[in-house]
Structure formats: structure tokens, C-alpha cells
Structure 1
Amino acid sequence: MKISCQRDTLTAAFSLAASIAPARSPKEILQNVKVTASGGKLTLAATDMEVGIRLEVTEGVEIEVEGTALLPVQRTGAILRESNDETLTIETDEGGIRVTGGRSKFKLPGGNPDEFPVVDGFDEDKYHVVPTRLFREMVRRTVFATDSESSRYALGGVLLELDANRVIAVGTDGRRLARMEGKGESQGGHETSGMSTIVPTRAIQLIERALNDKEETVDIAARPNDLLLRTSTAVIYSRLVEGRYPNWRQVFPTRENAIQLDMTIGPLFAALRQAAIVTDHESRGIDFTFANGTLKLEASTADIGESQVELPIAYDGEPITLTMDHRYVADFCKVLDSETAFIFEIESGNAPALLSTDDGYGYVIMPMARDR
């Protein structure tokens, strides 16, 4: 194999593929990116046996001799980052791999590409077409609520539900639950069944990172044990989490007598950050008291101090005090713009709070026991 390519273009593609290759593995071959030069394009493949990616690069690539090579992630990545050359030449021979620039030469050992695991392509005729921007937003607004450390392994991922014209993403750790839905178009009758299409947290974060908003849509195919996602230049594969997701619809409150308050992210987040100044790892609860046209946020920690911050709201009913982990409320605020309007729904001090926006996003927070 012998290719010449623009360094910036190759660096961007290689970095993305390398993010999936494991930093440590008993299978050393996985610490490489497999590069295939054929048909006028460069294909990069990487996997950790749980997640895999195939990337195609056509711009800025000149193929002189077709072939394949294994590029060590750490050394090759360092060469691409540190080089000042606009163009690099990569060539393989029996002695290994040579990377040559205008004023630099490197020689690296080369493994056998035939021993590298196969990374699945996208050959499905049943899949969903989903707007890229929507899918990225769905991941961003749910993945933070997953629980990757829990013994309840099914919570260590994002549940995807896909039917004829709708896509739902759900993340929960048992103490809060994030759900977002949007429109998607089924091709070939594709849909998921049951509560088993759970994409591991790390995998779906890598998938979100690999997507570019320049792509209008992405194709998503759910299979019994894995998920495939396709863009115009990449295919990403992920194993699914084993097990069944809890029935999240039972957690999501549907209440007739709940109080719904119109609020804006910016003012609430600012007040929350102030109230949280006196909290610590052991004392994370903040009392949210709704009364007399005011939301009062109060926190108290024995060794640190007390805080009280007030925010005007349109509520003049009976006082309601709800104690919540300030981190959970902050997570909701962080994934939305400061000017975003939302509904803060409460019922009592013992019932969960529901925060929702008008674009299909809902977030449930379970209350904490009050100790004062």
C-alpha cells in the first residue's frame, strides 16, 4: 500500500476511529486502526469488540498502490498531531510502515491486517431515517441520566424505541429519568419490539461524537443483539446491553391535579448555582419551596453554612416544599439553552417533579427525604 493524503483530513478521521480503539487490551491487535486503500477511497476501521466504526475518506487522498495496513493508534496519532506537513505519504513493505513528510520520516512496525476483526458494514433493508440534529439532541439530553456503575446493568445505556414515525430515547439511573421523542421515518417496516434496544452509555456517546450536523439524516437499524448507524461517510456498530429496560412509562407521571409553572432555564440555573455553594458530596439536597409568588431555594450543611436564594414565579397556591439533589436539576439545565422555556410540574413534597419542554423533552426527578 502506498498513499498520499492531506494531514488535516487524515488526522480528523484517524482521531475519530482511534477514539473507539481500546487504550489497553489483552488483544494487542485492537490497539490499531485498520486502513484499506481501494477503489479511490481510504477506509479506516477500529473496534474494541463492543463498538466498531468504518470511516471512508475520499477527499485529499491519492492512492498510488492499493492495499491494507494496521496503524498503531498511539504512535500514528502522535505523528499526525505533531507533524507540520500539509501532506503525508504512508507506505507499507515487509519491514513495516513508513510515514514520510517533507522534512520528516518515521518507521513503525506493522501487524498482519488479516488478523484484525471484521467491522460490520450497513447492509440492512429495514431501518429508520432520523434527522441528525434531532438524534444528537436526543442522545445529549438522555445519556447523562444513565447509570453505568449500577449492578442493574440494563440502566447502563440509553433505550431506543422506534416505531413507524417516531423515535424515543430514554435514560435513567433509578433516581431520575430523561426522555425525549421526535419524528423518524421507518423504512421497510423497521421497528423495535419490547424494551431491549439498550445502547451502552459509552457507545452512544461515541456515536453522537461521530455525527456531523452537516449530515441531514442518519440511518439506524436495530437488530436483536446490536445496533447499526450509517451516515454518508461512516458506519458505526454497537452491541446492545443484555436484559430488559424497566417500564419507564410507569415512572413518567400523568397527573390531573398537578401544578404547572412556566419557567426559564437561565434564572433557575443561576439561582440553583448560588444555593448549591454550601452543599457538598454528602449533603446534596436543596429545598425548593413554592409559595407566595416565589420559589425559595434553601440549603444547609453543618460544616459549610447555609444559603437561601429566591426567584419570582407565577404561583400563589398552598406552599409546597420539594427536596431534590441539586446535581440532577443542574443536569437538566446544562443540556438546554439559557433562554429555553419549560414547565416545572409539581404535585406535593413526596411526589416526583416533572420538567418538560415543548419539543418532546421530559425529565423526572425523584424527591429526597427531608432531614430538617
Structure 2
Amino acid sequence: MKFSIERAILVKAVSQAQSVVERRNTIPILANVLIETTEDGVSFRATDLDTEVVDRAPAQVERPGATTVSAGMLNDIARKLPDGALVSISLESATGRLSVQAGRSSFSLATLPKEDFPVMSTTEYTANFKAPAPTLRRLFDKSKFAISNEETRYYLNGVYMHVAQTETGPALRCVATDGHRLARIDAALPEGAEALPGVIVPRKTVNELRKLLDDDEAEIAVSVSETKVRFATPTLTLTSKVIDGTFPDYTRVIPSGNTRKLEVDAGDFAKAVDRVATVSSERSRAVKLALDEDRLVLSVNAPDSGAAEEELSVAYADEPLEIGFNAKYLHEIASQIERENAVFLFNGSGDAALIREGGDTSAVYVVMPMRV
């Protein structure tokens, strides 16, 4: 195997691949990246047995072949090479080592046999469709903050992607919840997604997926089965096992009878919550919302460190209400809102609040109250 590749292309490809590699591995081959060359270019494949990423890059290939080498080592070397360098990579048949050369720098790296590298098996996908990158980015970015970190409730450790029936017809929906807050985001159902089985996409996969979605012009090919999900562009493929569990019936916790309506500038509200929460040593300290006619007072009382209060002009015409929330949760939800106004719908001080982006019902958030 022998090929030449531009340093910038190598850095991007190897960093994409090695990001799925776990830092601590009991199986040595899982710390490696599989390098495979064809006449068209080179691919870099890495896996942790649950997630696999393949990055294809253009290269000048002299001799096709394949081997595996430490992903972290190759990534570090590529980053430290001079900008604009042309990197020559070859497998030395005599020693079995990988030679990396650029300018006056040369490295000889230990390899492991390509036959030992575990390649994630291909599977028959029950649904195959394409979706614009901005659509998928919105679905996952606006829901992932609510993913649970509790390992005991493993079925909440991801984003539930499924087809949902709405008032305007079927939609592609992503939902995440940790039991304290919930995010439900809808998008138009892409052609071919009608047979999509509901799957829970793991947190790590959601974070890796973000790298595929930066190009606003890209179309992402999505394939889903009961056990796997795959997202692909012409140069990058991310395949992942889905969480083997049943996502709870989230519709039961979305309130439908909340009638007390508050409209507030989302940016001002997020900044105000952040400011008053500063006096608390605990980010989870409750912030109290005191509502009166067109007036909202945010306050935090932390006996050990102090107190804070801020008043906002809002649109509110219902009965006075006092309700408390986790300051971190409120700030995270308010930060998701892209439209100018956030709409809060309340029932009572002990009931969950529903939050929307203006009149848009395609993004809905729920947050449970706290005692204050």
C-alpha cells in the first residue's frame, strides 16, 4: 500500500474517524484506524463496536492495500506536520510498519493486521430516505440537551426518532427527556421515511452526527432498521447500533390544558435567568417566576451566598402565579428558541409548563416545576 495525500485532507479525515475511538481500550485493535486504498482514493474506518465511522478522502494511490494503525498517533502526527505538506504513506512489506513522510519528517508506526479489525456488519434497512442537513441538524440539536445521563434508565440515553401523526399529517419527530424536561421537535416527513421504525439514537452517535450536518447544502442519506441507523454523505458514513429498549409514552407528560399564557423575549429571558442564577453556588438552584399583569419577576434566594431579582416586561393577562424551576433547565430551553418570542403555558404552581417558539408548534418543550 502506498499513497500521497494533502496534509489538510488527512487531518480532517483521521480526526473524523478517530473521534469514535474510546480512549481506554481493552482490545488493542479498537484503538486503531483501518486504512484502505482503492484506485479512487483512501478511506479511514474506526469503531467502538457500537458506532462506526468511515471517512473517504481523495489521494494519489500508487499501490492499493490496507492496514491498521493507532488512530490517536496518526491524528497527532498529521496535526503536527507543516501546513500545505504533501504526506506520503506506505506499508513497508519487510517490517510490516507504516511509513509516514512529509518534507524532512518521517515516522515508522507499528500496525496490526487488517483481518483483525471488526467491521460492522451490513444489515437490511427497513427505511431509506434523504433529508437536508439543516433539517436533521434542527431535529437533533434542539432535542439533545434533554438526553438523560442516568445509566440506570438507559432507554433515555438518546434521542427517539420516529414517525408521528400531527394535525397537519405525518411528521419526522425527535424526542428526548430525562424525566425533568422534555424536547419534542417535528419536521416534514421525507419521502421514503413512512416505514421508519421508532429507534433511540445513542448520545454518542448524536454528537458524532453533528459533524455530518455542517454543510447546509448537503443531503444526508438515512437508513434505519430495528437494530441500526446509518447517516451518510458521499464522503462520510456513520453507522450505529440503536439503544435496545422501549422509549416511554412521552405524550402523557405533555400538558394539554395549560391556559395561563406568558409571552417574553426569548433572548432577554435566557440572559435574565442566567444573571439571577449567578448568586447560587449550585446551578440547579430554583429560580422563582412571579407573574402579574404584563410583569415577570425572576428571583433566586440562596441563603449561603445571597439573593438576586430581575424584572422583565412581558405579555401576561391571567391570574397572578408563582412557580419555581431549575435555573439550568430554564436557561437551556430558552437558549434553544430561535424565534424572538418564547411562549410559556402554565396551569398551576405544581404543574409542568409547556414552552413553544412563538406560534410554531413544531418545537415543544416541557419542564417540571420545583418547590420554592
Question: Does the TM-score normalized on the shorter chain lie above 0.5?
Answer: yes
Aligned to 1:228, what secondary structure does the other structure show? Answer: strand
Taking the TM superposition and a 5 Å limit, the aligned residue runs for 1:2-17 are 2-17=2-17
1:108-152 per-residue CA deviation (whole Å, 9 max, x = no partner) reads: 111101110113568747313222111112111111111122411
Q: Provide the residue aligned with 1:172 in structure 2.
A: 177
Check 1:359–1:213 CA distance in 2 against 1; reply closer, same or farther (3 A cut): farther
Q: Give the aligned partner of residue 313 of structure 1.
A: 314
Cα distance 1:330–1:62, how it changes in 2: closer, same or farther (>3 A)? same
Structure 1 equivalent of residue 91 of structure 2: 92
The two structures have a TM-score, normalised by structure 1, of 0.92
Structural mapping, 1:304-343, within 5 Å:
304-337=305-338, 340-343=340-343
CA distance in 1 between counterparts of 2:45 and 2:217 reads 20
Instruction: State whether residues 128 and 187 of structure 1, in contact with CA within 8 Å, keep that contact through their aligned partners in structure 2.
Output: yes
Moved more, 118-127 or 81-90: 118-127
Partner in structure 2 of residue 66 of structure 1 = 64
Q: Which residue of 1 aligns with 2:197?
A: 192
Deviations 1:213-258 (A, max 9, x none): 2443212222111211122222211111121011011111112x51
The equivalent residue for 1:345 is 345
Count of aligned positions: 363
Question: How many angstroms apart in 2 are the aligned matches of 1:335 and 1:49?
Answer: 32
3-state DSSP of counterpart to 2:179: coil
Equivalent residue number for residue 367 of structure 1:
369
Residue 39 of structure 1 corresponds to which residue in structure 2?
39
Matches of 2:138 and 2:306 in 1, distance apart? Answer: 38
Q: Alignment partner for residue 237 of structure 2, among 235, 238, 242?
A: 235
Distance 1:282 1:262 in 2: 25
Give the whole-Å Cα distance in 2 for the aligned partners of 1:320 and 1:150.
36
- Displacement after TM superposition at 1:157 (Å): 0.8
* One-letter code aligned to 1:176: R
> Can you list the C-alpha shifts for 1:284-322, whole angstroms capped at 9, x where unaligned?
101111103211011111110111110011223321111
Contact 1:176 1:365 (8 Å CA) reproduced:
yes
Aligned residue identity for 2:152 = S
Runs of 4+ more than 4 Å apart? 120-125
Q: Distance in 1 between matches of 2:47 and 2:118?
A: 8
Correspondence 1:14-163 to 2 at 5 A:
14-58=14-58, 61-84=59-82, 86-94=85-93, 95=95, 96-120=97-121, 124=125, 126-162=127-163
1:142–1:158 contact (8 Å) kept in structure 2: yes
Residues 237-252 of structure 1: pairs in structure 2 closer than 5 A? 237-252=239-254
Taking the aligned partners of 1:125 and 1:87, their CA distance within structure 2 comes to 43
Deviations along 1:24-56, one digit per CA (max 9) or x if unpaired, are 111110111111111312111110001111121
Instruction: Provide the residue aligned with 2:186 in structure 1.
Output: 181
Q: 1:287 to 1:177 in 2, by over 3 A?
A: same
Kindly state the Cα deviation for residue 103 of structure 1 after the two structures are TM-superposed: 1.4
SS in 1 for 2:231: strand
Superposed displacement of residue 68, structure 1: 0.6
- State the alpha-carbon separation in 1 of the partners of residues 192 and 292 from structure 2: 51
- Relative to 1, partners in 2 of residues 1:134 and 1:14: Cα closer, same or farther, differing over 3 Å? same
Bigger shift: 278-287 or 23-32?
278-287
Distance in 2 between the 1:150 and 1:123 partners?
Answer: 29
Are 1:121 and 1:235, in contact at CA under 8 Å, matched by a contact in 2? no
Q: Equivalent residues in 2 for 1:197-212 (5 A)?
A: 197-212=199-214
Tell me which amino acid in the other structure corresponds to 2:68. Answer: L
Instruction: Give the SS at the match of 1:23.
Output: coil
Instruction: Please name the residue that 1:253 is paired with.
Output: 255
Identity rate, percent? 25
CA contact (8 A) 2:134 2:216 kept: no
Provide, for residues 143-169 of structure 1, a one-character-per-residue CA deviation record: whole Å limited to 9, x for no partner: 111112241111111100136952100
Post-superposition CA distance 1:156-207 (Å, at most 9, x none): 11100136952100110001101101013132853225xxx11111121111
- Partner of 1:15: helix, strand, or coil? helix
C-alpha distance in 2 between matches for 1:65 and 1:122? 31
Instruction: Return the letter of the residue paired with 1:309.
Output: E
Calculate the TM-score normalised by the size of structure 2: 0.92
Q: 2:20 touches 2:47 (CA, 8 Å); kept in 1? A: yes
Please state whether the residue corresponding to 2:142 is helix, strand or coil.
helix
SS of residue matched to 1:151: helix
CA distance in 1, matches of 2:121, 2:86: 30
